[in-house]
Amino acid sequence: MLLLLTDRPDRNIALAQLLEQIAPCRVSTVQGRFPGRIEAPLGLVADIDLLQPAAARSLRTLRAAAGGARTPLICLMRSMGERSLAEARSLGAELCLPGDTPVRTVAQAVLAHLRPAPVGIEAVVARSAVETGTVITGLLDAVRNGEAVQLAAVDEGLTPVLTAVETGGLDRWLATVRSYDDATYQHCLLVTGLAATFAIDLGFSERDRHQIVRAALVHDVGKARIPLDILNKPGRLGPAEQAVMRSHAAVGHRILVEAGGFDALTLDVVRHHHEALDGSGYPDGLAGSAVSDPVRLVTICDIYAALVESRPYRVPMPSGQAVDVLLGMPDKLDMALVQAFARSVSGT
């Protein structure tokens, strides 16, 4: 179990949800009453104002009930000033992070400090989802902030997802990442996990697996430049909005060309993952053999992911039904690949 002590529970919902991916998370407020002894929690995260005596007292009480110094303590700081840091140290904090640290970075820091390290397949998958997710967040944030995209940073997300689907299976990966609220984030993780599974099941070499997973991970990087009111609109997009949305393929391609270092396969997938074999796709209206095999593969993963995604306003489509949708697109998709994909997602 993980413990989260907070004096602003309304602002910690996303963090608590993410910590739940690592281990069951109990949230306590500084005003709340603690249960007696808490058996060997994996770690304690405190998001409180340490300079408030009542808050610091709550933390001492909770820590004593939760195994004392044996339980790693991570403090999210309201201030990184000397007084606050000294207070955190006196409480035994192993790590102090600024209070506005992104929740995924906090979760990753928690994973790195857990004692004992969680074991088992669930933990491997949860850890990998946070690691690959952190790469995706970093990528989208860099583009939104006008910073350069780093190939080396992207590549840090490849091995975790391949390990997760290989050891934990696709279904665990899907269940883990479908609990994330942010639609683009969830979608990118789904497509990456599907592409990793498909590449493994197709018998790709390690080098080819990495290439296809890299392409899947960055395939929608251009969405970081789409206004959020269009990107997250729940209903149908109007023609003008749709044109803006569709620009993400060419925009993403340009971002990676300008970043430099990305291989031709990745650039091809980013630009063309909305092309169709009958020439009805975008942005270039490619048809038939002009649509490369890697593009065909990621396009199938992309459409399937969009169908099985979890959204607040609709239930996810069951896998079998989503495969039927793919099978109903013989003019647009490579049917031999769709058949192989169907076997891959059904685990046969």
The contact set with Fe ion (CB under 5 A) reads 220, 302
CA distances from 328 to 74, 324, 325 (A): 51, 6, 5
Do β-strands 43-47 and 25-29 pair in parallel, antiparallel, or remain unpaired?
unpaired
Q: Judge residue 217's burial from the number of C-beta atoms within 10 Å of its C-beta, 0-12 exposed, 13-18 middle, 19 or more buried.
A: buried
Token readout for 133 is 């997710």
DSSP letters spanning 177-213: HTT---HHHHHHHHHHHHHHHHHHHTT--HHHHHHHH
Q: How far is the CB of 247 from Fe ion (least distance, A)?
A: 11
Q: How far is the CB of 219 from Fe ion (least distance, A)?
A: 6
Nearer to Fe ion, 63 or 253 (CB): 253
Nearer to Fe ion, 47 or 309 (CB): 309
Nearer to Fe ion, 78 or 225 (CB): 225
For residues 95 and 113, the answer to whether their CB atoms sit within 8 Å is yes
Residue closest to 270 by CA, chosen among 288, 295, 305, 289? 295
Q: How far is the CB of 231 from Fe ion (least distance, A)?
A: 11
Using the structure block, give the residue that is written with the tokens 């992207």.
154
Nearer to Fe ion, 268 or 302 (CB): 302
Nearer to Fe ion, 63 or 219 (CB): 219
Q: How far is the CB of 225 from Fe ion (least distance, A)?
A: 12
Contacts of residue 187, defined as CB under 8 A and 6 or more positions apart, other chains included, come to 220, 305, 306, 309
Q: How far is the CB of 244 from Fe ion (least distance, A)?
A: 13
CA-CA-CA-CA torsion sign (237, 240, 244, 246): positive
Q: How far is the CB of 186 from Fe ion (least distance, A)?
A: 11
For residues 196 and 224, the answer to whether their CB atoms sit within 8 Å is no
CA distances from 217 to 11, 69, 123, 180, 267 (A): 29, 40, 22, 16, 12
For residues 191 and 298, the answer to whether their CB atoms sit within 8 Å is yes
Nearer to Fe ion, 87 or 302 (CB): 302
Q: How far is the CB of 302 from Fe ion (least distance, A)?
A: 4
- Three-state secondary-structure class, residue 344: helix
Nearer to Fe ion, 127 or 296 (CB): 296
Q: How far is the CB of 248 from Fe ion (least distance, A)?
A: 6
Distance CA 291, CA 307 (A): 22
Nearer to Fe ion, 43 or 281 (CB): 281
